[in-house]
Amino acid sequence: MNIGALAEAVLQVTGMSEADAHAFAQTVDWSSTLVIPVPLAGASFRAVPVDGVNGTLIETANQDGSEGHYQLIWVKNGIVYSLEGQGTSSQALAAAASLS
């Protein structure tokens, strides 16, 4: 079974565009990935450098214009790291940098 193709289909069913689902699925090693639900309404994601590896930054904007929410996830040396909080992408990356 092609897990990557299945993941793309599920992402599309949950509301992600075909192009975004394909792009996201290409960034994941599906043979060893912990699946984390991503909020689709008002959320964006992008690859970011974290502690010498690539991570995924998920940001959700608040409808009222107040500070948004972030989740930053990366894997280094077989360990999954995750930071979550209220704030901006620069705050998330600064928090991750302070851990090394």
Q: How far is C-alpha 16 from the geometric centre of its chain's CA atoms?
A: 13
Q: What is the pLDDT of residues 15-67, one digit of tens each?
A: 788 998 888 888 877 776 656 666 666 678 888 999 999 888 888 877 776 77
Strand spans (E) along the chain? 43-50, 53-60, 69-76, 79-86
Report the alpha-carbon angle 47-87-56, nearest 5: 15
Q: What is the pLDDT of residues 61-91, one digit of tens each?
A: 777 767 788 889 888 887 888 898 998 888 8
Nearest Cα neighbor of 82 from 42, 38, 43, 20 is: 38
